[in-house]
Amino acid sequence: MRNVHLTTIWGIPIRINVSLLVLLPVLVYLIAEGDQIGIYASAIDALAPATLEVAPLEEGATPWLIGLAGAVGLFFSVAVHELGHAYAARRYDIGTESITLWIFGGLAALESMPREWHREFWIAVAGPFTSLLLAVVFAGLLQVIPGGLALVLFVVGWLALINVVLAVFNMLPAFPMDGGRVLRALLGRRWSYVTATRIAARIGTIFALFFAVVGVLGGNPLLVLVALFVYVAATTESRTIALEELLRGVLAVDVMDEPARSVAADATLSDVATSLFENRRSEFVVTDDDEIVGLVTLSDLGQVDRSTLETTTVREVMTDEVAHVGLETPAFEVLRAMGRDPLVVVLEDGDPVGTVSRRDLGEIMQLRRELGAPGPFERTAM
């Protein structure tokens, strides 16, 4: 989904995902509808020295103004929460690529996730701690807002309460939420990073099931969506960390197939079919005057009528772009660069010297899995 740039703080782009446009009206409705204002008002009245008159807040369009102000204030609070993570990460010289506000709250995309337990611990708790500080700020503002400004008094008080809720909810040990990352950090004091992640992810899926049951029984679709997010994110990160560990210490040069097998862009598909069979490969890099211009695969040939193989050129069916990496690129980064493509090209001084396919990475991961994922890959002269 598309992200819209909002502003930049500390050099960090703050973005809004279009999914937020779906959630914003829902939040406005949840804040404004029914008896919600009366319920929140009783708690706010206990915090504020001024008496909060509820009746004016429930008249006309006022509830909807409160809902809109509260929803916008909530996502402002989420942005500050994520800036707390970013600030803590900066203390460890870890940059933040962006902060995105989306349907599930906020996401601070750190340049790297520290494996040292104490660093992950402090970066994780920084968000909830920032939310608590923000709650204190809003509670302080309540002490000076005149009772006549009922709408302002309510919104500020509601934000004080919701920031406490935000901090407490995020500290639930439901990986990959903040509490789950704190749990992984503490588990990392005793077990390996991979094992700690696996345990935290399993606990996260249990919480996801709990959220789903409560959401369904309580008629809360947002909680069901949170359950889905926690489940998918926990299982995905657990698998990602396991893959990263299997590829740790491996470079592109260690697993690449050399030389880089290529075909000319103007070659016919009949010639390519012959080359694929002779080389027992399912893809070739496409070149034009020694410049890489694309990628052709066996599936590309399968989409062409057999009667036209002699007259159709590679240029007509190839994928126009192919990812490339350097010799010293870590294998896990190679996998990321590959994306949905079947391979990446390995370059040395701008010239293709080999390729790395999913099969190449799969073979090395299978080998290391069977060997118990030993330490850094032992490189030998090629």
As annotated, the active-site residues are: 82
The burial class, CB within 10 Å (0-12 / 13-18 / 19+), for 146 is exposed
Radius of gyration, alpha carbons of the chain: 27
Helix, strand, coil: what percent of the chain each, to 5? Answer: 55, 15, 25
> Per the structure block, which two tokens stand in for 248?
């740790």
Strand order from edge to edge, sheet including 283-288? 262-264, 283-288, 291-297
Cα separation, 380 vs 136, in Å, equals 59
Number of Cα atoms under 13 Å in the Cβ half of residue 28: 14
Helices (H), strands (E): how many in the chain? 14, 10
Contact by Cβ (8 Å): 289, 311: no
Residue 102 pairs in a beta bridge with: 105
Cα–Cα distance for residue pair 155/302, rounded to 1 Å: 61
Q: Which of 58, 1, 60, 3 is nearest to 31 (CA)?
A: 58
374-375-381 Cα angle (round to 5): 105
300 labeled part of a ligand binding site: no
324 is in an annotated binding site: no
DSSP state of 284: E
Closest CA to 135 of 96, 164, 100, 174: 164
**Binding residue per annotation — 85?**
yes
Dist CA 155 CA 66 (whole Å): 6
Query: Which parts are annotated binding residues for Zn(2+)?
Result: 81, 85, 178
Query: Which parts are annotated binding residues?
Result: 81, 85, 178
